[in-house]
Amino acid sequence: QVTLKESGPGILQPSQTLSLTCSFSGFSLSTSGICVSWIRQPSGKGLEWLATICWEDSKGYNPSLKNRLTISKDTSNNQAFLKITSVDTVDTAIYYCAQGIGYWGQGVMVTVSS
Amino acid sequence: IQLTQSPSLLSASVGDRVTLSCKGSQNINNYLAWYQQKLGEAPKLLIYNTNSLQTGIPSRFSGSGSGTDYTLTISSLQPEDVATYFCYQYNNGNTFGAGTKLELK
């Protein structure tokens, strides 16, 4: 059974760095073909793909945010991470992690506010 | 690749056949998925690779299309289908459409 759960700081101030963790079970990020992505959704708005990391450590980033994003993984502990630098209020959103396209976590709310 | 979904809001009655559209700015090569999102929940995968039904999804949902034009069809609308539907392309980068909100008339 595949499960994913996101965790984050809840609230942070503008200009800080947002660090998110995706803890998962039911699969391994060392298995060929497996990738984990981060997607976000501002309240009442649409979905935005942010980044993907795959089993062989290839990475992809949303071009509009690439300079601010860093995705990484800890295969031994079944975790994936996303860092977003220099956050602003527009980064306020629910952040989801997903394995492939079919398995999503419940999401974590992140608020950027001074 | 940009995805344009239409309509943005759709009102239909129980039992209606409903069709949602998703158009890409470039060829998507059938790497197109559809998600259903109910209020307060994470998106749920309905269809992948244009027309493959995800396990556990009712057969009233179906997908079709090719090139730049794709469609999600609900053959007989049920009350529990009230949700927002997003298309998603994974052929060239990764992009979501803006969504179609489906409500009961």
What is the structure's pLDDT at A95?
Answer: 98
Answer whether A102 sits within 8 Å of B90, measured CB to CB.
Answer: no
**CB pairs < 8 Å spanning A and B:** 41
Residues 58-87 of B with CB under 8 A from A: 86
What is the structure's pLDDT at A28?
Answer: 96
The string of pLDDT tens digits covering residues A25-48 is 999 999 999 999 999 999 999 999
CB B60 within 8 Å of CB B75: yes
CB A5 within 8 Å of CB A103: no
Rounded mean pLDDT of B40-62?
97
Q: How many beta carbons lie within 10 A of that of residue A99, not counting itself?
A: 21
Cβ-Cβ contacts under 8 Å, B33 against chain A:
101
Residues 77-96 of A with CB under 8 A from B: 96
In this predicted structure, the answer to whether residue A66 has a pLDDT above a threshold of 90 is no
The greatest distance separating any two alpha carbons of chain B, rounded to the nearest whole angstrom, comes to 37
The string of pLDDT tens digits covering residues B7-40 is 999 999 999 999 999 999 999 999 999 999 999 9
Answer whether B96 sits within 8 Å of A46, measured CB to CB.
Answer: yes
Closest CA in chain B for residue A41: B42
Rounded mean pLDDT of B44-53?
98
3-state secondary structure chain A: CCEEEEECCCEECCCCCEEEEEEEECCCCCCCCCEEEEEEECCCCCCEEEEEEECCCCEEECCCCHHHEEEEEEHHHCEEEEEECCCCHHHCEEEEEEECCCEECCCEEEEECC
CB B25 within 8 Å of CB B1: yes
